[in-house]
Structure 1
Amino acid sequence: MSNPEQKHIPEGYMEDQSGRLVPIEKIKQIDLTRHDLVNALVNKAREAQELLAKFKVDALQEIQSFIDLSAMEYDIPLGGKKGNVTLTAYDGRYRIQRQIAESLVFDERLQVAKELIDKCIHRWAEGSADEIKALVDHAFQVDKEGKISTGRVLGLRRLDIKDDEWLKAMEAIADSIQVTGSKTYIRVYERVGQSENWKPISLDIAAL
């Protein structure tokens, strides 16, 4: 399998890593053997990648077709929040999951929420204010790329605080969420014996 972006190399020459043309007769045999091995394995890897890509497309189409069939026959749509769905074989040995993960970011209303939360903490002033302030500061910390963790910020909404200003801040957080994209995953599992445990049938080469 050739690389369409590979430039033309004159017959009897190979290009080294610096882009220089080197006569093949001047290259050590071990270097030629290594070159052939790497290219052969890369070609096999590309073929495996294409097979996995085709499997994902086919699996998603077949899962959606089954969901449509079930909805039409029983008038009960399958799939939970955000389109996630789990299908289990009749004998309970295998399970397929379609999972859709959304990429979330916050808009400028997150800063409004932070200011409202700060007002709450200053107003409370006593009791557990220091602990809550530490929790809030942690939630709004940015990572090395300057991004705020959506998980940490959304975790604030699980705190059972009835204060009106706090609730307004939580509403601002909810309104600030923007969906920038999503990824769809196919996960395959096999039951461990007769237990309630499932082990993944890995499609990740590093996990094999």
Structure 2
Amino acid sequence: MSKSPTTTDIPAGYRQDAQGRLVHESQIKPIDQARDALVAELVAKGRAVQAKLADYKRQAFADIDAFVALSAEQYGVHLGGRKGNVTLLSFDGRYKVVRAIAEHIQFDERLQAAKALIDTCLRDWTEGARPEIVTLVQDAFRVDAAGNIRTGNVLALRRLDIADARWQRAMQAIGDAVQVVGSKSYVRLYERDDAGQYQPISLDIAGV
């Protein structure tokens, strides 16, 4: 199977199409050449913006970390590592900067033990169980479109005030089953509007 030519292999006066074939520029329609030039220009400009955003994000996190450390030093405290979410307000309250760190969690095999204990409770409570609790439990363990357990729904079960010892053991199993497998960090900017509500300053191309 032949390999597509690299940029350095393409002879002068030829262009490579989407199928890897070499086409002489004289055979490429002007509109196709114009489209190609426009796409290349927009991608180049987009990559430049992306690089600037990446630099801004790195610098923003470094500046926030440095400020948090400076603030802590006012009380003789030295912090180690990044410590969760931080909200900073401008002096006049017009602007707000939020550093948010969202952890991505999964459950290990102990979630199955929790589910078994909960199922036992529900079977014993068949007559007296409140329908909304049964529905809540069923929804919590229903997988999403990708086949994954919805972690937020499972963790919400722990907020239910149920004294049954088996339920309490199930909630302990859920807590033990939680595994933090990664995290994502965000910097969010806000400006207060005339109504006193903070509106996001979008750094997403779809939101500007």
TM normalised by structure 2 equals: 0.91
Equivalent residue runs for 1:56-75 within 5 Å: 56-75=57-76
Query: Which residue identity is paired with 2:101?
Result: I
Look up the equivalent residue of 1:98 and give its one-letter code. Answer: R
Change (3 A) 1:82 1:174: farther
For 2:97 and 2:154, how far apart are their aligned partners in 1? 31
Tell me, what secondary structure is at the counterpart of 1:71?
Answer: helix
| Aligned counterpart, 1:47 | 48
- What is the Cα deviation at residue 125 of structure 1? 2.3
Displacement of 1:98: 0.2
- Contact kept? 1:67, 1:77, Cα under 8 Å: no
CA 118–6 in structure 1, closer or farther in 2 if over 3 Å, else same: farther
In 2, the alpha carbon distance for the partners of 1:48 and 1:121 equals 55
| Residue 144 of structure 1: how far off its partner (Å) | 2.2
Q: Partner of 1:202 in structure 2?
A: 202
Q: Aligned-pair distance for 1:129?
A: 4.8
Q: Give the match for residue 100 of structure 1.
A: 101
CA contact (8 A) 2:105 2:178 kept: yes
- Give the structure 1 partner of residue 118 of structure 2: 117
The letter of the residue matching 1:25 is: S
* Residue 93 to residue 129, structure 1, CA distance change in 2 (3 Å): closer
**Counterpart in 1 of 2:36?**
35
The answer on 1:145 being equivalent to 2:146 is yes
Further displaced range: 156-165 or 101-110: 156-165
Q: Distance in 1 between matches of 2:71 and 2:22?
A: 62
In the superposition, relative to structure 1, how do residues 196 and 164 fare at CA in structure 2: closer, same or farther (>3 Å)?
farther
Relative to structure 1, the CA distance from residue 117 to residue 180 in structure 2 (aligned partners, 3 Å threshold; closer, same or farther) is same
Q: How far 1:111 sits from its partner (Å)?
A: 0.3
Cα shift at 1:76: 6.3
How many angstroms apart in 1 are the aligned matches of 2:144 and 2:104?
A: 16
Structure 2 CA distance for partners of 1:89 and 1:6, relative to 1, 3 Å: farther
Q: Which residue of 1 aligns with 2:183?
A: 182
CA displacement, residues 116-160 of structure 1 (integer Å, 9 cap, x when unaligned):
001111122212354422221111011222110001101111111
RMSD of aligned residue pairs (Cα, Å): 1.8
Identify unmatched segments of 5+ residues in structure 1: none
Q: How does 1:142-181 map to 2 (within 5 A)?
A: 142-181=143-182
- How far off its partner does 1:75 sit? 3.9
Conservation of the 8 A alpha-carbon contact between 1:139 and 1:152: yes
Supply the distance in 1 between the matched residues of 2:170 and 2:198 (Cα, whole angstroms): 40
Q: TM-score, normalised by structure 1?
A: 0.91
